[in-house]
Amino acid sequence: MNLQNISQSKVAGGWHKQYQHDAKSVNCMMQFAIFLPPNASETNKVPVLYWLSGLTCDDQNFMQKAGAFKKAAELGIAIVCADTSPRGDGVPDDENAAYDFGLGAGFYVNATQAPWNKHYQMADYINQELPALVEAHFPVTEQKSISGHSMGGHGALTIGLKNQQNYQSISAFSPICNPIDCPWGKKSLSNYLGNNQSDWLEYDASQLIKAGCILPILVDQGEADQFLETQLKPQRLLNAAEENGVDLLLRMQPGYDHSYFFISSFIDDHLAFHAKHLKAINDIK
């Protein structure tokens, strides 16, 4: 296993560390960051929150801007931030280098269409390969929750809904809730999965949630978000959840936009939400 530590900094009594590794699922070198709280040790392993970032981001946006370390240290939760797509010279990109497709925009799906299917297996990377690597090399338990922002909120919802046995809770900021019916989603899903729209349904949270969910879900959405009506459509997710008896809380936040100013304002709530549900398993003090 080619796991290389490329940076580390002490913060909030714990450690922020950045790593590279040779990832088989996406067939390239991948980078991720991990925050380990001060109480994490081989004799006291801690649960993990996996964070999925949005379009154009990488493993560092959340770590540098969200202000999550103090609360995560207090709660005894590790945070793992993955990259948003495979990268490297051999990884295909949008021919026009558009921000909303290709590099930086893996959309957390397993691509089926060439040339994307060789590398863009992000759902498997997030749900299988990365947690297995983290659990093998760091003082963490198998207990985990998942969260994300925008495209990453879509990823957290869809991965969590499709793999409920693997997580304790799900949350999202400004998620793309109905990608089969928005410009970002249509572009990504048609390219990665092909034009048969029935294949898109397994990556649409508003469709997946109709099958039910045993996990609690928290969604925060800014009312001043410039993408609210055209791209995100949280009301569709809420309607589907209510119709199918799913425990989903959607909080509409007046005045907030799509930025990390919004995330940093409510990240403590999300960490406490996940800690509550991880605590039932791990007795977090």
Q: Which are the catalytic amino acids?
A: 150, 225, 258
**C-alpha span between 220 and 207 (Å, rounded):** 19
Beta carbons of 191 and 185 less than 8 angstroms apart? no
Q: What's the half-sphere exposure (Cβ side, CA atoms, 13 Å) at 141?
A: 20
* Tokens coding 3: 């796991």
Helix (H) or strand (E) holding 217: strand 217-222
Residues in the chain: 285
3 state SS for 19-81: EEEEECCCCEEEEEEEEECCCCECCECEEEEEEECCCCCCCCHHHHHCCCHHHHHHHCCEEEE
Cα dist from 137 to 2, 34, 140, whole Å: 12, 11, 9
